[in-house]
Each structure stands twice: as structure tokens, then as C-alpha cells.
Structure 1
Amino acid sequence: MLTRIISGVVAAAVLVAILLLPPVFLAGAVLLVSCIGLHEYAGAMKHKGIRVDLKVSWAAALVWTAYAYVTTLAEQEGQGLAVAMKSLFTRTALWGIIFLIVVVLFSRILFENGKFRTEDAAHTLFGIIYIPFLLSFVLMIRNMDRGFEYIWLVIIGASVTDIFAYFAGTLFGRHKIIPAISPKKTVEGAIGGALGCMICMMVYGVLVVNQSGTALIPVYHFALMGMLCGVLSQIGDWAASSIKRSAGIKDFGRLLPGHGGMMDRCDSFLFVAPVVYIYISLFF
């Protein structure tokens, strides 16, 4: 337990430090996490006899991370570099790269005499969507107006939900929610996690977001977003558990002592970041 606590504190300190730095550092961190996550995902799939094309996956992670960062970067940031990069990462170019990835994967199926199969290509594409695509929403939030304030909504949505779900499940848990995938998860824990996230999101909205001197955001928006994040954060956790259960492994890796692999810590963020981005874009 001590190892887990120390590892968690160190990871949290590193995360806070990255968020305090200019957004380009967060872009580098997102790319690194995506590549590590893809490596762990490929290792999990290997237990099922699936060959994930890591080279294609890492290339896709680089392209998508760069696209998400550059296309949402404010004009005043980066100046000449930002303009040059935006001209490179046009939407047409992105679709062309996606098409190229599909062609490369199918070419491997056709010309490698059964060494690379349709299911390998399918799992490669799934990994790209599951990890770098979903994680790229973190960058898109950070590059928003007031993005430094909004990015903490993702931290609250993923981390606080986990904490409240753990304590609510420990104290009140009686009814298993998905025993075939996560035997220790309970209905009471899930409800506690969602309610805890909603309350913390409301408190953060009132005390931080609405104190910045700009137009006030109605509190019910933070409540709704908190409930959505509280639910989807846990679905993200269960989704990762289903992958591990299917692969017959306990953890994605051993990178973080006491926690497992990178994916064991980031699974909730993958589902929370898109929710926060979409909700802010629609209603704030």
C-alpha cells in the first residue's frame, strides 16, 4: 500500500508540473503516454495471439497528437511555427493519412502470406482509436480559451470518481455490478463515485471557474457534466478491465509500482476527456 501511495503522489506531482508548463509540454506528455499505452495494449493482445502493428500505431499517435495540438492552438501562441504547422495539418491531409494507414494495414494482410491477419489489422485500428484519439481531447481542452481552468475538470472527473467509488464501495458495497469483469466493483461504489464527482465538479466550478471575472456558468452545467464524467470514468475503467480479462492478464504492465501499467492509470481519462471537451464546446 505504501508503494502505491508513494507512486501515486509522484505521478500526481509530475502531472501538476506538466499542466503548469506551456501546452507544448502537455502535447509531448500525451504523445509519450499514447505510445506507452499502445505498447501495453499490444502486449495484452499478444496474449490472445493478436499482432498489433506498433509502428503504424505509433505513427498514427504522432500524427493525431500533432493534429489535435496544432489545429486548436491559439494564433498568438507559436506564431510563425503555429501558422506553418496549421498549413501542414489540414483536414484533407489528415484524412489522407488515415486512408494511408488503412492501405498499409490491408497491404500487410494481402502480401504477408497469413502472418498479418484481418483481426490483427482490426485490433490495430481499435488501439489507435481507443488510446491516442481519445487522449488527444486532453490537448484540445488545454488549448481552449480558459483551457488551464477546464483541464482540471478532466482530472476531477477521472481521479475523484475513482476515490469516491473506492470508499463508497468499501463502506456500503453490497451488490456486484459487473462481477464477470470486475468482481470487486459494486452498485453502491458506482453511485458513490458518480455523486462524488458531481459534487466536486460543482465546487470547482463555483470556487474556481466562476471566480475568474468572466461570464458566470450556471452551476447545473457543472452538476450535469460531473454526473456524466462520474459515469463514463467508471465505464472507462471497466472497459480496460474487460480488455485485461479477455487477454487473461491482471495489469497492463509494471511501469508504475503499485498501480500496474500506464493504461491501468489512464483508462478513466480516455473516456472523461472527450466528455468534458464536447460538453464545454456545446454549452459553455
Structure 2
Amino acid sequence: MRTVFTIIFLLAFIPSASHGHAWLKLKIATAEYAPYTSTDMQHGGYINHIITDALLETGVQVEYVSMPWEEALEATLAGEYDALSYGNFVRSRESEFFHSKPISAESLVFYVNSEKEIRTWSKLSDIADLKMGITEGYLYNDEIAAFIEGNENVVRRGSDRENFEALINGDIDIFPIDELTGWYLLEREFTDAERDNVALISPFISTVTTHLLVPKGKQNSQLVLSLFNKGIDELTLEGKLTRFKHLLKEGYYQHPQKKVHYDRR
């Protein structure tokens, strides 16, 4: 109770970003997962832009350190970083991490090799005979996690791009990925002829929410979580989360020489 009271007391007197210098600096681990997080993108990517601005709302500055996802996960758990950007909500992670309030919500979808006749599904047993590619170290959602456990038809690869290459070549039959990342990779990294070899099937698997992951083992974890959640609330009230999503779809965060526009209206 004393910890909770202290956090509430501190939040009441936290200066906003407009009141001088930051009173706290956090070090956050991040990974290369364009267009959401990347050192090659404006503001470190869409998600990191939101995280930076949310914490600035409470007078907190952020330093990002980029590294491979599994390394970032382990280092954050070991207490080397104050938080990890970012992760989908997965129940199995709750024993080690606090999930912040949602940063964004995305559709998790299946892509299939175009030569496969399947264009729709209703339950995972409908695709049980298909060879599924998944990305090493990535947790999709609780349903997919349960489906792939011990499944001999599941093949792990090191990146989403490798899985798309395998899908295009027919080495795998189906691949789950969030729709925006799938669109980004296919448009940016593959030719029209290669894209013709994959198809998006319906319905989408689920809506996944993205979160700042705060390790439970650090002394300041509750404070970091509370500060970020307060900042996200402020951004929501100001309409900035909607604005950032529009910027993402318009290609703002990407390298100007090879920009992908998501807004297909």
C-alpha cells in the first residue's frame, strides 16, 4: 500500500514536458521491427514515437538501445533496462512483465501460398494439415501459442522476411503476422511477381494490442508503468494517438527513398 500511495503522490506533482527539463530519464530496450520500431525510421518508428511522447507528457526522457528481440527481452528481465518496446499482450508473459495500457491495436492475419485452395477458415483445426511458418522468439497470441506447441507442422525461422520468402517459394503453406507489418514487408521487400504468390485469407485471427513491457523485478517498475499509463491517457485525450496512426499509414516514419503508403482509401 505504501508503494501505491507514493506513486499516486508523485504523479500528482509530476511536471509536464512544457515545464523545463526532464526530471527522470529512462533507458528502454527496443528491437528492429519496422514499421513499429527501427533505428532506420523517424523517431525510431511509430511505437517508439508514441512511447517517447507519452513519457514526455510526464516530464520523462527516453534513451533507446536497439538489439535483437530475444537479447532485448533477456536484458530487460535482467534489470539492465527500465522497459522493453514493445510486445503484444500475451498472458504467459504476465509473470515477468507488466503490460502497459494499450499503445495500439492491430489485426493478426494469415497469409497463405496462392497455390493453396484455402481462402477462409473458421477454426485452427481447419489449417492443422498446413505447414505453418512462425518467427523465432515471437509470441503471436495465446490461441496461436497453444496451437503451435508440439505441432510438427510448425517451422521456425529467424525473421518475418524469411517466412515470407518460404511462403513465396512454397516451403511453407501459411504464415501468421500482423496485417500492417505484412503489408509493409511485401510492398517494400518483394516484387509484384513475388507478391502474386501469397494471398491474405479471412477472417483475421484476432485483434492484438501492443504494450510497453515493464519488468516486474525492478524497484521503479510500478513508477515507470504509472508514468507511461498517465502519458498515454494524455495523448489519447489530445487526439495524438489517432494522428500518429495516420502518419504511419502515410509513410511518414519510413526512409524517404523507399516509402510505403498504407492508406489505400
TM-score bracket for the superposition, by shorter chain length: under 0.3
TM-score, with length taken from structure 1: 0.22
Q: Which has the higher contact order (CA 8 A, sep 6+)?
A: 2
The structure that is strand-richer by fraction is 2
TM-score, with length taken from structure 2: 0.23
